[in-house]
C-alpha cells in the first residue's frame, strides 16, 4: 500500500492546488535505430491504485500486457502520439519526441488541466505542467503512460517484423543490439530505420 501512496504524491499535490484532470506523459523509442517514437498520455481517476504498476522497463511483457488492459479499464482517458523516422530526421530526436507527446496530450478527452511529464522537457501545449526526471518511477500516471507507450510500440515493431523479416524487430524492437547491428551490416538499412542516426548515416 505504501508504494501506491508514494506513486500518487505528485497527483495528490496537483489536486491540492486545484487541478482535476492530471495527465501523466511518457515516451518510448528514443534510443532505437528503427521504428517510431511513441508517446502516451494517461489521466487516472483520483486515488487510483493499480497493483503492480511501475516503470514499464521493470515489467515483463506479460505484466505489461495485463497492466495495459487494466489501465484502459480504469483510466479517464488515454491518448497516444507517434513520430515516424521521417519526422525524426526532419526535427531531430528531441523535437520529434516532444511533438509525439504533444499529439498524445491532444488526443485526450477530456483535456487535461495539468501534465506530469517524464524527463527534463515539456511539450509545447497550453496546459500547465512539470517535467519529472525518472518520473515513470515516481508517478502512477506517468508509469501508466509508460506502459501504454511501451506496449503500443512493441506491437508495432512486431508488425514491422512481418514486413521486414531480416532484422529481428520482434526480438529487439529496433534497439541497437548485436543482432540488429549484424543485420544492418548484412542487409543495409530498411525504410523504417533512422537514416540520420550516427550508426546509419555513413
- Contact yes or no for 40/26 (Cβ under 8 A): yes
Residue length of the chain = 202
166 confidence band (pLDDT: 50, 70, 90) = very high
What is the model's pLDDT at position 1? 35
- Write out pLDDT tens, residues 70-118: 999 999 999 999 999 999 999 999 999 999 999 999 999 999 999 999 9
User: Could you name the CATH architecture of 2-153?
Assistant: 2-Layer Sandwich (3.30)
Query: Do 36 and 29 form a contact (C-beta atoms < 8 A)?
Result: yes
Which residue from 84, 88, 134, 129 is spatially nearest to 108, judged by alpha carbons?
A: 129
Q: What share of the chain is helix, strand, coil (3-state, %, to 5)?
A: 50, 15, 35
Q: Taking the CB of residue 24, how many other CB atoms lie within 10 A of it?
A: 29
pTM (predicted TM-score): 0.94
Domain range summary for the chain, segments of one domain joined by +: 2-153
In the numeric block, which cell numbers belong to residue 51?
Answer: 497493483
Amino acid at each position: 500500500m505504501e508504494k501506491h501512496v508514494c506513486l500518487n504524491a505528485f497527483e495528490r499535490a496537483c489536486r491540492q492546488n486545484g487541478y482535476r484532470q492530471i495527465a501523466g506523459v511518457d515516451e518510448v523509442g528514443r534510443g532505437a535505430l528503427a521504428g517510431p517514437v511513441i508517446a502516451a498520455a494517461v489521466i487516472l481517476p483520483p486515488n487510483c491504485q493499480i497493483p503492480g504498476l511501475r516503470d514499464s522497463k521493470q515489467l515483463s511483457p506479460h505484466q505489461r500486457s495485463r497492466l495495459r488492459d487494466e489501465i484502459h479499464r480504469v483510466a479517464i482517458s488515454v491518448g497516444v502520439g507517434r513520430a515516424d523516422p521521417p519526422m525524426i530526421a526532419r526535427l531531430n530526436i528531441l523535437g520529434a519526441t516532444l511533438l509525439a507527446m504533444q499529439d498524445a496530450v491532444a488526443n485526450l478527452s477530456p483535456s487535461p488541466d495539468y501534465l506530469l511529464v517524464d524527463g527534463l522537457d515539456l511539450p509545447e501545449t497550453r496546459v500547465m505542467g512539470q517535467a519529472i526526471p525518472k518520473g515513470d518511477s515516481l508517478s502512477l500516471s506517468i508509469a501508466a503512460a509508460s506502459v501504454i507507450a511501451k506496449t503500443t510500440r512493441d506491437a508495432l515493431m512486431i508488425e514491422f517484423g512481418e514486413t521486414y523479416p531480416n532484422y529481428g524487430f520482434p526480438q529487439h524492437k529496433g534497439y541497437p543490439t548485436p543482432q540488429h547491428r549484424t543485420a544492418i551490416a548484412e542487409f543495409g538499412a530498411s525504410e523504417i530505420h533512422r537514416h540520420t542516426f550516427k550508426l546509419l548515416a555513413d
